[in-house]
Amino acid sequence: MAFIRDAWYCAGFTVGLKAGELKPLTILNEAVVLYRQSDGAAKALADRCPHRFAPLSKGKICDREVQCGYHGLRFNADGHCTHNPHGDGSIPKAATVRAYPVLERHGALWIWMGEPAQADPGKLPDFSEVEQRPGWTRVEGYLHVRANYQLMIDNLLDLSHVPFLHPFLGGGAPPPPEFRPDIRMETQGDAVVAISEFHSMPNTPLYQMLWERGAPPDIVDMRANITWHPPSMLMLDTGAKPVDQPREHGPSAPIAHWLTPETETTTHYFWAQARDRFVGNDEVSAQIAAGIDGAFRNEDEPMIEACQQNMGTADLMSLKPLLLQTDGPAVRARRVIQMKLESGRLSDR
Amino acid sequence: MAFIRDAWYCAGFTVGLKAGELKPLTILNEAVVLYRQSDGAAKALADRCPHRFAPLSKGKICDREVQCGYHGLRFNADGHCTHNPHGDGSIPKAATVRAYPVLERHGALWIWMGEPAQADPGKLPDFSEVEQRPGWTRVEGYLHVRANYQLMIDNLLDLSHVPFLHPFLGGGAPPPPEFRPDIRMETQGDAVVAISEFHSMPNTPLYQMLWERGAPPDIVDMRANITWHPPSMLMLDTGAKPVDQPREHGPSAPIAHWLTPETETTTHYFWAQARDRFVGNDEVSAQIAAGIDGAFRNEDEPMIEACQQNMGTADLMSLKPLLLQTDGPAVRARRVIQMKLESGRLSDR
Amino acid sequence: MAFIRDAWYCAGFTVGLKAGELKPLTILNEAVVLYRQSDGAAKALADRCPHRFAPLSKGKICDREVQCGYHGLRFNADGHCTHNPHGDGSIPKAATVRAYPVLERHGALWIWMGEPAQADPGKLPDFSEVEQRPGWTRVEGYLHVRANYQLMIDNLLDLSHVPFLHPFLGGGAPPPPEFRPDIRMETQGDAVVAISEFHSMPNTPLYQMLWERGAPPDIVDMRANITWHPPSMLMLDTGAKPVDQPREHGPSAPIAHWLTPETETTTHYFWAQARDRFVGNDEVSAQIAAGIDGAFRNEDEPMIEACQQNMGTADLMSLKPLLLQTDGPAVRARRVIQMKLESGRLSDR
């Protein structure tokens, strides 16, 4: 199984990378070390000294450079060895380590795993909706998942699982026919949008909690529209509002899902949610963070991991899965990934 | 390594499958889910929804059907999808899951892993000797063993290991020559019988304990005749009696050993023992169950697993083992299995 | 990856093999059992009965023989079966198990893994420097390391890592240029000697502690000359002395490192150190043993294992490592191993 390399992948949150820290992370099967130079700039190198293959993350930061903990070679952020403490101190030409472009945006770190020359910051989709900004409060979290990232995209692009897998959120049963949502797919270039709009639905505990201004209505309009950007970033626009009124009249709680393949069968899952109600209220933030983390950790994750175990290392489509109407967006996303992988093979590998 | 598929395999005990329970079990490398319909009938399906490959055992039983816990598809015991809660509710033709014939007999559940059309209940050997019936009391147990099932057949078909591996049972040394048992092999069709009859032997702690009627004699006749039925069911006819008297004059304690391959290197081991002494005595039942479980768990199992580790995944015969006279029955059983596997390959695979 | 077979490998310490003990040990991927006959002689057999492949180490010692714990076959130290307790007691010709020559010398057990006819005790290098002998006290220890033995040879033949990996021992920085050691390589047949001699160096905590006779000087001459003998034995001649005086005027603490491959990626590491100061002082012995064990366990071992993980199962040279001047001895040793493996393949395998 191959990965799309020419892409930005989330490598953690801004607040998660401290000064002086050498943070090892495996991404697309490659060992990477993230760190901040003494000037605070986030950088990434292959976590493997070219001399004896010691992980650089076991060394230390010396000003703007990383010193290997085994024999003391130093490397700058371009990956060039700048110091050899042994013998006559000469530095062989081959004394380099792979350097990865890093971008810090939307409160997160982004690493470019492909050709550095292609690392255009403009290729990162806009996630400013989940930034910490005036009038909004953000919560964020991380989970390590033992499943291929595409199974997680499948999960997020087909929210019909909610009433079955999340009985608390969905009531334990699909909505009665008269409340059936308007579900459809749109495409925007390579992006896929799965639209789920519910008109005159019973309100949910989450939006009752977030209503803030006046008593929450029993019946609301709700939306859960999710946009997938290749290879593995999703933006869920979700909120509730009084029936047939503008969305600003009810709470919004957009949430970004950034999936970064660690290996073929494990995934780093970063999420960030913003809300425009109870802004700055730490208690509400803690409740929401626990709720999102719990739903994924206790309900989605065990199911997705069990599917992965049943599938082994086979690709989903090779197993000829039964396809339902609700699989449209997920199948479309898989096709985009497949096409990108094939065109990548044609062009350079 | 292949398995014989057209056969009944034990999948647990009758009392072990509760109403409302979805019980996952891997048999011959296949994930299976066992359950009881609302009418109590035991059924088995592949534990893998054809949609996203979620284990059906993570769903729930709805009357006579199983509902997948991920997206809510429902399947009946024939493996047909009967309900799709999404979209227009249409059910694609491919919405089926493999169904396995199940038989409930002798206090156990039996699953047919081959062609359903061949699943004749008459092909299950008769184990009524170990049934719970008037004048007898049954105890039963289960062990998960990290060894190929054929190594366990080898163990059971060659009881010459008893004095070495089970010093408490066998006294820690082989019997002196004057007590040497009458050991011989018989075949009955595909079945193999290993006969071990001991004339005028010192009584054993087990049969002293089970004597019940009068003081146990010091010298007895004993038998430990074991019949193997392909692929992996064994019936041990064992008991002691006063020298040269009918077997009814002493206790009998027949025990069935039902081995079900989980994978090439792990096995489900079910056993059931009946006795005609101390009938209904729970204290004796508990002592016997602990004794059988302990002997296997602490003595046979570690040795068989150690052999398996030394052999890796190689087939025993390919390693050219040293063969002794006592290996006759085990070698015969291996040949029957080999012939059945080869004729199976000729006929349909 | 192949191993050099025609060689003595350390299989433990003399005091580590007790009478009556059957000690299993994997060496060069082979399961071996070590034991002492009733006369005290150390012997080694393949840990695998030829009958059912039970580990002989799960049996027991009967006088000069080993009895298998499964069916009671007995084998002598030549590997011949001498007793079959079953049937007519006949012993098939094939009833043999591989026997390995064993040598007991320098307080350790040595096993010959190749052709027994080649097992010349004269091929064991002389390690009498670390024997328990008058005027010297010995400490010894063992570590199980999750890395290929060649990575450990690399580590020991290039002591330039000391100031980086062992900040307590080396001060956390390379020595200033005026103290740079005289580092050079010599070869003696297949053996490789890495010479590190330091003139007028600041004394170290270890040699301050071991000085014993009078106040330790601040400035000393030190040596750390290490000789590698193929395939994996190293002798470190190390000590300190007053500047420009004979070595007897200061403490010596030679240490042998005996590396025995367990598998391609794990190694048995035995070490033995002798000293000529504080002879017989158990407190000093305990301090030194803890110091050596701690430095290796907490500093070398995690780094070497991390290199191994980064390399996977690839051979170091196939990964085209960056080579520095300080790698000379380690590269030479790797070439000798490579040549021996290739000539071995030409001659007999």
pLDDT in tens, C248-297: 999 999 999 999 999 999 999 999 999 999 999 999 999 999 999 999 99
**DSSP conformation class of C296:** I
Please report the pLDDT score of residue B349 as a whole number: 39
Q: How many CB atoms are located within 10 Å of the residue B104 CB?
A: 16
The whole-angstrom separation of Cα B247 and Cα B240 is 7
The whole-angstrom separation of Cα B116 and Cα B122 is 14
Which residues of chain C are within 8 Å of residue A50 when distances are taken between CB atoms? 321-322
Please report the pLDDT score of residue C241 as a whole number: 96
Which residues of chain B are within 8 Å of residue C95 when distances are taken between CB atoms? 322
Which tokens is B104 given?
């409930």
**Positions in chain C short of pLDDT 50:** 348-349
Q: Chain A contact for B47, CB < 8 A?
A: yes
Which residues of chain B are within 8 Å of residue A326 when distances are taken between CB atoms? 71, 86-87
**Positions in chain A short of pLDDT 70:** 1, 167-180, 345-349
The whole-angstrom separation of Cα C24 and Cα C20 is 13
- Name the region of C255 (left: φ>0; alpha: ψ -120 to 50; beta: rest): beta
Which residues of chain B are within 8 Å of residue C87 when distances are taken between CB atoms? 183, 324-326
The answer to whether the beta carbons of residues C242 and C249 sit under 8 Å apart is yes
Please report the pLDDT score of residue B348 as a whole number: 47
Strands (E), A189-290: 191-202, 219-229, 233-242, 255-263, 266-275
Please report the pLDDT score of residue C349 as a whole number: 39
Q: Chain A contact for B62, CB < 8 A?
A: no
Work out the angle at residue C254's Cα, subtended by the Cα atoms of residues C248 and C259, and round it to the nearest 5 degrees.
165
CB contact under 8 A, A58 and C303: yes
Q: Chain C contact for A86, CB < 8 A?
A: yes
From A183, A302, A307, residue closest to B52, measured CB to CB: A307
Q: Chain A contact for B89, CB < 8 A?
A: no
Chain A nearest CA to C181, separation (Å): 10
Q: Chain A contact for B85, CB < 8 A?
A: yes
Indicate which of C33, C45, C51, C52 best probes the interface with B, i.e. most B CBs within 10 Å of its own CB. Answer: C52
Which residues of chain C are within 8 Å of residue B306 when distances are taken between CB atoms? 54-55, 58
Give Cα A162 distance to the centre of its chain. 20
Which residues of chain A are within 8 Å of residue C174 when distances are taken between CB atoms? 72, 85-86
From A53, A55, A86, residue closest to C324, measured CB to CB: A86
Which tokens is B116 given?
């359903």
Q: Chain C contact for B172, CB < 8 A?
A: no
CB contact under 8 A, C71 and B164: yes
CB contact under 8 A, A322 and B92: yes
Q: Is A10 helix (H, G, I), strand (E, B) or coil?
A: strand
CB contact under 8 A, C307 and A54: yes
- Name the region of B208 (left: φ>0; alpha: ψ -120 to 50; beta: rest): alpha
Strand (E) or helix (H) holding A333: helix A328-347
CB contact under 8 A, A164 and B71: yes
CB contact under 8 A, C84 and B322: no
The answer to whether the beta carbons of residues C307 and A53 sit under 8 Å apart is yes
Please report the pLDDT score of residue C312 as a whole number: 92
Task: Show pLDDT as tens, one digit a residue, over chain B (349 residues).
Answer: 699 999 999 999 999 999 999 999 999 999 999 999 999 999 999 999 999 999 999 999 999 999 999 999 999 999 999 999 988 899 999 999 999 999 999 999 999 999 999 999 999 999 999 999 999 999 999 999 999 999 999 999 998 898 888 866 655 566 666 666 788 999 999 999 999 998 888 888 889 899 998 899 999 999 999 999 999 999 999 999 999 999 999 999 999 999 999 999 999 999 999 999 999 999 999 999 999 999 999 999 999 999 999 999 898 999 999 999 999 999 999 999 999 999 876 654 3
The whole-angstrom separation of Cα A124 and Cα A141 is 20
**Which residue carries 């004048």 as its tokens?**
B135
The per-residue b/e assignment along C98-132, b for 16 or more CB within 10 angstroms, e otherwise, is ebbbbbbebbbbbbbbbeeeebeeeebbebebbbe
From A163, A306, A320, residue closest to B58, measured CB to CB: A306
pLDDT digits (tens, 9 = 90+) for C93-106: 999 999 999 999 99
Find residues 173-212 of chain C whose CB sits inside 8 Å of chain A. Answer: 174, 183
Q: Is C161 helix (H, G, I), strand (E, B) or coil?
A: helix
Q: Cis omega before residue B231 (within 30°)?
A: yes
Which tokens is A163 given?
């009433």
Please report the pLDDT score of residue A68 as a whole number: 97
CB contact under 8 A, C160 and A71: yes
From A54, A90, A95, residue closest to C306, measured CB to CB: A54
Handedness of CA C223, C224, C228, C229 (dihedral sign): positive
Sheet holding C42-46, edge to edge: C23-27, C30-36, C42-46, C99-100
- Comparing alpha-carbon positions, the chain B residue that sits nearest to C96 is B322
Q: Chain B contact for C94, CB < 8 A?
A: yes
Which tokens is A88 given?
């006559």
From B47, B69, B86, residue closest to A326, measured CB to CB: B86
Q: Is the pTM of this model over 0.90?
A: yes
Indicate which of A164, A166, A179, A318 best probes the interface with B, i.e. most B CBs within 10 Å of its own CB. Answer: A164
- Comparing alpha-carbon positions, the chain B residue that sits nearest to C67 is B164
C156: amino acid identity, one letter: L
The per-residue b/e assignment along B13-27, b for 16 or more CB within 10 angstroms, e otherwise, is beebbeeeebbebeb
Task: Mark out the alpha helices in C211-250 (DSSP H runs).
Answer: none
CB contact under 8 A, A158 and B71: yes
Q: Chain B contact for C54, CB < 8 A?
A: yes
Please report the pLDDT score of residue C202 as a whole number: 85
Mode of pairing for the β-strands spanning B60-62 and A233-242: unpaired
Give Cα B208 distance to the centre of its chain. 27
Half-sphere exposure (CA, 13 Å, Cβ side) for B66? Answer: 37
The answer to whether the beta carbons of residues C6 and C114 sit under 8 Å apart is yes
Q: Chain A contact for B30, CB < 8 A?
A: no
CB contact under 8 A, A53 and C319: yes
Residue C197 pairs with which residues in a beta bridge?
A: C182, C223
- Comparing alpha-carbon positions, the chain B residue that sits nearest to C32 is B310
**Which residue carries 């190594």 as its tokens?**
B151
- The radius of gyration of chain B from alpha carbons, rounded to an integer in Å, stands at 22
CB contact under 8 A, A307 and B72: no
CB contact under 8 A, C72 and B324: no
Sheet holding C65-67, edge to edge: C60-62, C65-67, C74-75, C81-83
Give the closest residue to B260 by CA, choosing from B110, B57, B100. Answer: B110
The answer to whether the beta carbons of residues B237 and B227 sit under 8 Å apart is yes
Torsion (CA) C1, C7, C8, C11 in degrees, nearest 10: 20
The answer to whether the beta carbons of residues A38 and A69 sit under 8 Å apart is no
Give the closest residue to C266 by CA, choosing from C299, C297, C304, C234. Answer: C304
The whole-angstrom separation of Cα A195 and Cα A152 is 18
**DSSP conformation class of B207:** H
Burial class (CB in 10 A: 0-12, 13-18, 19+), B181: middle
Which tokens is A319 given?
């197993």
- Comparing alpha-carbon positions, the chain B residue that sits nearest to C88 is B325
Please report the pLDDT score of residue C1 as a whole number: 65
CB contact under 8 A, B164 and C70: yes
A114: amino acid identity, one letter: G
**Which residue carries 């909690």 as its tokens?**
A209
CB contact under 8 A, C69 and B303: yes
CB contact under 8 A, B174 and C53: no
Please report the pLDDT score of residue B249 as a whole number: 96
The whole-angstrom separation of Cα A190 and Cα B313 is 47
Which residues of chain A are within 8 Å of residue B60 when distances are taken between CB atoms? none
Residue C8 Cα distances to A224, C155, C233, C258, C263, angstroms? 70, 21, 9, 10, 16
Q: How many CB atoms are located within 10 Å of the residue C24 CB?
A: 14
- Comparing alpha-carbon positions, the chain B residue that sits nearest to C31 is B310
Q: Chain A contact for C306, CB < 8 A?
A: yes
CB contact under 8 A, B310 and C55: yes
C-contacting chains (≥3 CB pairs under 8 Å): A, B
Please report the pLDDT score of residue B201 as a whole number: 85
pLDDT digits (tens, 9 = 90+) for A192-231: 999 999 888 888 888 889 999 889 999 999 999 999 999 9
Please report the pLDDT score of residue A164 as a whole number: 87
The whole-angstrom separation of Cα A111 and Cα A34 is 9
Find residues 272-301 of chain B whose CB sits inside 8 Å of chain C. Answer: none
Residue C94 Cα distances to A330, B84, C98, angstroms? 62, 64, 11
Backbone angles phi, psi at A195, to 5 degrees: -100, 125
**DSSP conformation class of B80:** B
Which residues of chain B are within 8 Å of residue C60 when distances are taken between CB atoms? none
CB contact under 8 A, B86 and A325: yes
**Crossing angle (nearest 10°) for helices A301-311 and A149-157:** 130
Total residues belonging to chain C: 349
The answer to whether the beta carbons of residues C5 and C14 sit under 8 Å apart is no
Which residues of chain C are within 8 Å of residue A86 when distances are taken between CB atoms? 160, 174, 324-326
